[in-house]
Structure 1
Amino acid sequence: MLISGLFVGIALGFVMQRGRFCVTGAFRDIWVTRNTRWLTAFMVVVAVQSVGVFALDAAGVIALEPAAFPWLATIVGGLIFGFAIVLAGGCATGTYYRAGEGLVGSWLALITYALFAAIMKTGPLAGFTSSMRSVTVEQGTFHSVLNVSPWILVALLSAAVGVAVRHHLRKPKFTMAALPASKSGLAHLLFEKPWNAFATAVVIGLIAIAAWPLSWATGREAGLGITTPSSNAVNFLVTGDAELVDWGVFLVLGILVGSFIAAKGSGEFRIRVPDANTVLKSLGGGALMGVGAALAGGCTIGNAMVETAQFSFQGWTALVCMILGTGLAARLTIMKRRPPAGSGGGAGAVSGAARPAGAAAPARS
């Protein structure tokens, strides 16, 4: 059953690459362009997964157990992680799928991310991480504190996300020039036609739901997750302990494979070597990602996507702190380079500054 993790990862990497589903861009756009389209798409994933995860729990397929809320580590780790993803040019999952596109900067960020996650979780700084995460409050979910059915929160979240999606769909659409189609049928749909942000989000949400029973069947009682599997992969390479290679390790390997397949099929794969400044940012950003994710208990997937779907305090606190950390990094590294009003820079200059050197094209709607 471990092999199912590989197939889920391939599907996730393929969909995220083709849909240009960049969580870093979603958080960054709030501050740089005041645009919430991709944040709304991200919340579609959370809402879809929330319906699925509580349905699986009600059916007895999985058993959700609320845990204490490590508030201090979540706040500190979330802020660090949010700041780091701007430097690295992508969050944990984004770094994986961009590594599959051939971005050398993402390879470097991925290496330091996995390494420092291992250092923080099981290495020399594991004691520090444990002590930080030992500062907790007892109640860990919104519905347990409010003493209400989680389905009430699912309904409210779904309604709010639905209103936000409707708002964005009602906005005027701009037609962009495009080359004539060179493929037809399914090949055109999969590899050439731009993917809609919200359709991509629904597919990712369905993949996230499928991950739960498949992962549980192997004894790994969790859904999608990136940080611990990345740490386990590093520890396996060091120790050779085969027990570390669980469903999650196959998942992250699958993301690389799936994104590579998508990039090759769409003609977007290309080895891109960054300049020295981007190399330093990638290495530093990746290291801080590992530190932040270990402290917070997860990255933009494990916390901001999976824990939020369960209405845990950890997930929603991490999400808010990651957005705040991203805003701080954007202000220090992107917005200060914006041209003054009337200088002729315009939105194009902002967009260019927002994309790290050597990174993939901006997200497509």
Structure 2
Amino acid sequence: MGQMVITGLICGALLGFVMQRGRFCLTGGFRDMYLTKDNRMFYALLIAIAIQSVGVYTLISLKVFEFNAGSLPIVAVIVGSFIFGIGIILAGGCATGTWYRAGEGLIGSWIALAGYMLVAAMMKSGVLLPLDMAIKETSIETNSIAETIGVNNWLIITIFVVAVAFIVYRELKKPRLKIPGLKPKKTGLAHILFEKRWNPFITATIIGVIATLAWPLSVATGRIGGLGITTPSANILQFLVTGEISFINWGVFLVLGIFLGSLFAAKMSGEFRFRIPDTKTAINSFYGGLMMGFGAGLAGGCSIGNGLVMTAMMTWQGWISLGFMILGTWTASYFVFVRPSKKAKQAAQVITA
């Protein structure tokens, strides 16, 4: 139990710290791909996936643990991921982003977390479990991409790593506008850790390493898996309601660590403050949290569980889920940002005509 507490909290705290300081927000990244054609955060995600993929399959090759991709509940993954994508736009952050932004003092993120944990628990062991099981009955036997096409995993990983390296090389070659910043108040390591703007690619590299380390740390406690947010978040509520100690696992301390790591980073960088949302934002946050919990529970993972981890494991579930998550965020972005903007412009034109 002690090992579970310590390693889970440390891994989570590192992840929360890095995500907070690096502003590693996949919701904003997916949204910006559509609204401003800015793909840098998506490319950063690909870097984290590539590093984790190489790291984890190296550990598997060394027989540190075994991994079975299992079957693919195709309908559940598609529907759940799309709903999750819509939810994260309403909530203002994905599952992990909501945990770390709660650590910054955003009350809206706390509201989103409440809805997220509630429905995730309902999907795992509550009244929505029969629906979850029914939708997941439609499945494809093979989830592994390598197994489906009859090649070795390392071939797919190598091609992927080369492709990501080429994308990053091209991105780094582009000229960047230098934005003048405020005069530094800190020096040395304190400036780098708590004041300097982090490069998203460096942030992603660190996250990829943390995601790799999560596997052996988690496996050592009997939990076969890497980073995961949805099930541990549901487990917290399930434990609080039932008192069953069996719900407490390495993942629970991971998500609690994310909150603590973000809180520390926000405090040290002067970015922590309680921010109370207006009524509309609060309602959207709660609805978004409900959709996140339902979507991630149905899809078998969130933007981290599916979008970062299962993609790195080169599964159909991970990559299909990532695609439909992005589609969901784009759909929601149209109705939340693009359509209202168009209507406002049309109204302004009518008034000035």
1:133 shift after superposition = 1.2
Superimposed CA distance per residue, residues 27-82 of structure 1 (whole angstroms, 9 cap, x where no aligned partner): 11111111111100011110110001110100001101120100000000010000
For residues 32-111 of structure 1, the aligned pairs below 5 Å read 32-111=35-114
- Counterparts of 2:69 and 2:228 in 1: how far apart (Å)? 17
- Aligned residue type for 2:313: Q
Q: Show the counterpart of 1:327.
A: 330
Kindly tell me: are residues 342 and 164 of structure 1, through their superposed partners in 2, closer, same or farther at Cα, counting changes over 3 Å?
farther
1:339 shift after superposition = 5.7
Q: Show the counterpart of 2:187.
A: 184
Superimposed CA distance per residue, residues 274-315 of structure 1 (whole angstroms, 9 cap, x where no aligned partner): 000000100000000000000000000000100000111111
- Counterparts of 2:132 and 2:264 in 1: how far apart (Å)? 37
Q: Show the counterpart of 1:315.
A: 318
Q: Show the counterpart of 1:264.
A: 267
Q: Show the counterpart of 1:16.
A: 19
- Equivalent position to 1:251, from 232, 237, 254: 254
- Aligned residue type for 1:183: K
Q: Secondary structure at 2:285's aligned position in 1?
A: helix
Q: Show the counterpart of 2:172.
A: 169
- Equivalent position to 2:282, from 264, 279, 284: 279
1:121 shift after superposition = 1.2
- Counterparts of 1:169 and 1:60 in 2: how far apart (Å)? 36
1:124 shift after superposition = 0.6
For residues 179-218 of structure 1, the aligned pairs below 5 Å read 179-218=182-221
Question: Which stretch has the larger CA shift, 173-182 or 89-98?
Answer: 173-182
- Counterparts of 1:105 and 1:341 in 2: how far apart (Å)? 26
- Counterparts of 2:94 and 2:228 in 1: how far apart (Å)? 13
Kindly tell me: are residues 137 and 172 of structure 1, through their superposed partners in 2, closer, same or farther at Cα, counting changes over 3 Å?
same
Matched, 1:29 2:32: yes
Instruction: State the TM-score, normalized to the length of structure 1.
Output: 0.92
Q: Secondary structure at 2:262's aligned position in 1?
A: helix
Question: Which stretch has the larger CA shift, 236-245 or 200-209?
Answer: 236-245
1:135 shift after superposition = 1.1
How many percent identity over aligned positions? 50
- Counterparts of 2:167 and 2:38 in 1: how far apart (Å)? 12
- Counterparts of 2:318 and 2:69 in 1: how far apart (Å)? 12
1:260 shift after superposition = 0.4
RMSD: 1.5
For residues 217-236 of structure 1, the aligned pairs below 5 Å read 217-236=220-239
Q: Secondary structure at 1:35's aligned position in 2?
A: coil
Q: Show the counterpart of 1:359.
A: none
Q: Show the counterpart of 1:363.
A: none
Q: Show the counterpart of 1:348.
A: none
Instruction: State the TM-score, normalized to the length of structure 2.
Output: 0.95
Q: Show the counterpart of 1:146.
A: 149
| Runs (5+) with no aligned partner, structure 1 | 346-365
Matched, 1:117 2:120: yes
- Counterparts of 1:273 and 1:70 in 2: how far apart (Å)? 39
- Counterparts of 1:156 and 1:89 in 2: how far apart (Å)? 34
- Counterparts of 2:180 and 2:59 in 1: how far apart (Å)? 44
Q: Which ranges of 4 or more aligned residues in structure 1 deviate by more than 2 Å?
A: 337-343
| Count of residue pairs brought into register by the alignment | 344
- Counterparts of 1:9 and 1:208 in 2: how far apart (Å)? 10
- Counterparts of 2:125 and 2:136 in 1: how far apart (Å)? 14
- Counterparts of 1:342 and 1:271 in 2: how far apart (Å)? 34
1:338 shift after superposition = 3.3
Superimposed CA distance per residue, residues 184-234 of structure 1 (whole angstroms, 9 cap, x where no aligned partner): 111111000110010000000000000000000000000000000001000
Matched, 1:242 2:226: no
Q: Secondary structure at 1:338's aligned position in 2?
A: helix
- Counterparts of 2:279 and 2:171 in 1: how far apart (Å)? 39
Q: 1 or 2, which has the higher helix percentage?
A: 2
- Aligned residue type for 1:290: G
- Counterparts of 2:96 and 2:300 in 1: how far apart (Å)? 15
- Counterparts of 1:19 and 1:7 in 2: how far apart (Å)? 18
Q: Secondary structure at 1:334's aligned position in 2?
A: helix
- Aligned residue type for 1:188: H
Matched, 1:160 2:167: no
